[in-house]
């Protein structure tokens, strides 16, 4: 599938973007190993989250739905998972693979995790290393890439692990393995990362402690079923936050968006660039802070992105690169080497696309320098990365010529119905099946 976009447009109206992908994943994982039936509303019915559903069904968990965002997970308890009959296919979902690896490390049975061509190129040594320190037996390819083979019945022990880089996925993997470990498991993170796992564990009644950047839990407890209302995903909202900020005359309200403090880097960074963004109707839903976000067009200016915001916006940088391309002056990003190992090398892929549109940029090992200016048109290669596709769709609002975006099939992993919603809000977008 490819997107075709005519230049220009104004973003206006009100919308609720799909449910948070990170929370949707975790609702299935923890619901599956809880005791009782967990009911989830607002579940993201994207391909990544559905891969997680399929994996737990393959391990004997009965899951009703999803239907209109409603899911019921009939938990089997901490030790009730069953050996899958074949390798668990994670599709394109790195979150599924890294977090489920932690759960599988503590099982009595052998298992294998695999995925699509893109996922099988992504590094998994970062989770394999701490799991091995806990006593797990786990193997990947020679380069530490999938498929991963996990040998059960190892008897895990709690460890203290200093994360070599800020990563919510690695932190979560270790904590989930810690549920099955003897003694205390603790993780120190060098910078705050999204804390959905810790919040949700507490929601299931499992004690998790945090003090001075150290998160810890004791193994061998139990999780009790709960109800989860998944807020709209701020990573999906980010495309429209940028869209309304760069298109003159825009006025947009995004409702029920999760504003977890470990995820609001995109709002903070856009604010520093001069965006007109207001948060309204603050509330808490299932332990997660939620608000409606009102954004109107405002002239943006380039900034040096503060280091302390980088890990709070790591998934939103492709969209932020488009904001930088439309801003006056220079934007500098450093300390974002994590972008090199996402669904694509997002620094390289975004730089290539910006070059196509005539936007001057300089690639750094750990970031990029972007000089804002006039955007042209052209053909964009996404490298099968959903966030690259959606970011360049937004760029069309300020482009001077048509933009064609190739290989957009993976947009459905995180944002099913993106093109229809974008069209309804004012983007001149059409999708064509190859």
| Bridge partners for 88 per DSSP | 113
Task: Please give the pLDDT value at position 249.
Answer: 98
* Active site residues per annotation: 315
Domain with CATH 3.65.10.10 in the chain: 2-19+231-432, 21-229
| Bridge partners for 217 per DSSP | 185
**Region 21-229: CATH code:** 3.65.10.10
CA angle 284, 234, 283 (to 5 degrees): 15
Number of Cβ atoms within 10 Å of the Cβ of 296: 17
Give the list of residues 6+ apart from residue 77 with CB closer than 8 angstroms, or none. Answer: 33, 34, 35, 222
Whether the model pTM is above 0.85: yes
Task: Show the tokens assigned to 230.
Answer: 């998944």
Q: What is the DSSP letter of 213?
A: T
Per-residue CA distances from 94 to 69, 389, 403 (Å): 22, 18, 29
Q: Report how far residue 90's alpha carbon sits from residue 234's, in angstroms, rounded to the nearest whole number.
A: 23
Task: Show the tokens assigned to 74.
Answer: 């009939």
Number of Cβ atoms within 10 Å of the Cβ of 185: 26
Task: Please give the pLDDT value at position 70.
Answer: 98
Task: Please give the pLDDT value at position 28.
Answer: 98
Number of Cβ atoms within 10 Å of the Cβ of 400: 12
Torsion of CA 91, 92, 95, 99, to 10 degrees: 30
Low-confidence ranges of the chain (pLDDT < 70): none
Q: What is the DSSP letter of 119?
A: G
Task: Show the tokens assigned to 28.
Answer: 């299935």
Task: Please give the pLDDT value at position 287.
Answer: 82
| Bridge partners for 47 per DSSP | none
In the predicted model, what is the mean pLDDT of the chain?
96
User: Buried b vs exposed e over 239-260: b needs ≥16 C-beta within 10 Å?
Assistant: bbbbbbbbbeebebbbbbbbbb
Task: Please give the pLDDT value at position 223.
Answer: 98
Q: Report how far residue 270's alpha carbon sits from residue 324's, in angstroms, rounded to the nearest whole number.
A: 9
The helix (run of H) or strand (run of E) holding residue 159 is none
Task: Please give the pLDDT value at position 306.
Answer: 97
The DSSP string of 244-299 is HHHSTT-EEEEEEEE--TTTTHHHHHHHHTT-EEEEEEEEEETTEEEEEEEEE---
Burial class (CB in 10 A: 0-12, 13-18, 19+), 8: middle
Q: What percent of the chain has pLDDT over 70?
A: 100
Burial class (CB in 10 A: 0-12, 13-18, 19+), 5: buried
The DSSP string of 69-103 is TEEEEEEE-TT-----SS-EE-TT-HHHHHHHHHH
Antiparallel, parallel or unpaired: β 2-5 and 403-406: antiparallel
Q: Report how far residue 434's alpha carbon sits from residue 423's, in angstroms, rounded to the nearest whole number.
A: 20
Q: What is the DSSP letter of 412?
A: G
CATH 3.65.10.10 fits 2-19+231-432, yes or no: yes
How many Cα atoms occupy the beta-carbon half-sphere of 411 within 13 Å? Answer: 24
Q: What percent of the chain has pLDDT over 90?
A: 93
């Amino acid at each position: 599938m490819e997107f075709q976009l005519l230049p220009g447009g104004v973003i206006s109206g009100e919308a609720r973007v799909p449910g948070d992908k990170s929370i949707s994943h975790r609702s299935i994982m923890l619901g599956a190993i809880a005791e009782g039936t967990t009911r989830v509303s607002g579940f993201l019915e994207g391909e990544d989250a559905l891969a997680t559903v399929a994996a737990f069904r393959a391990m004997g968990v009965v899951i009703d739905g999803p239907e209109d965002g409603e899911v019921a997970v009939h938990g089997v308890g901490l030790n009730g998972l069953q050996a899958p009959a074949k390798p668990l296919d994670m599709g394109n979902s790195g979150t599924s693979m890294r977090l489920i690896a932690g759960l599988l490390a503590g099982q009595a049975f052998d298992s294998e995790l695999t995925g699509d061509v893109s996922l099988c190129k992504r590094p998994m040594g970062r989770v394999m290393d701490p799991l091995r320190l806990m006593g797990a037996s786990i193997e990947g390819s020679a380069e530490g890439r999938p498929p991963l083979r996990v040998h059960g019945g190892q008897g895990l022990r709690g460890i203290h692990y200093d994360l070599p880089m800020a990563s919510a996925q690695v932190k979560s993997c270790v904590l989930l393995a810690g549920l099955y470990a003897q003694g205390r498991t603790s993780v120190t993170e060098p910078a705050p990362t999204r804390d959905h796992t810790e919040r949700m564990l507490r929601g299931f009644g499992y004690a998790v402690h945090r003090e001075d950047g150290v998160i810890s839990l004791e193994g061998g407890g139990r999780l009790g079923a709960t109800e989860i209302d998944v807020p709209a995903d701020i990573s999906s909202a980010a495309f429209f936050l940028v869209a309304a900020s760069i298109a003159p005359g825009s006025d947009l309200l995004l409702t029920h968006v999760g504003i977890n403090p470990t995820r609001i880097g995109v709002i903070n960074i856009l604010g520093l660039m001069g965006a007109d963004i207001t948060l309204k109707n603050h509330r808490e839903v299932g332990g997660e802070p939620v608000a409606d976000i009102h954004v109107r067009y405002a002239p943006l200016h380039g900034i040096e992105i503060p280091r302390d915001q980088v890990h709070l916006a790591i998934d939103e940088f492709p969209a932020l690169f488009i904001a930088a391309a439309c801003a006056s002056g220079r934007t500098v990003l450093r300390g974002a080497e994590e972008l090199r190992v996402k669904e694509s090398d997002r620094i390289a892929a975004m730089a290539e696309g910006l070059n196509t549109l005539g936007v001057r940029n300089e690639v750094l090992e750990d970031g990029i320098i972007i000089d804002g200016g006039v955007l042209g048109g052209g053909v964009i290669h996404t490298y099968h990365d959903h966030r690259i596709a959606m970011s360049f769709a937004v760029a069309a609002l300020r482009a001077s010529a048509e933009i064609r975006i190739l290989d957009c099939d993976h947009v459905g992993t995180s944002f099913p119905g993106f093109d229809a919603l974008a069209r309804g809000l004012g983007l001149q977008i059409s999708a064509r099946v190859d």
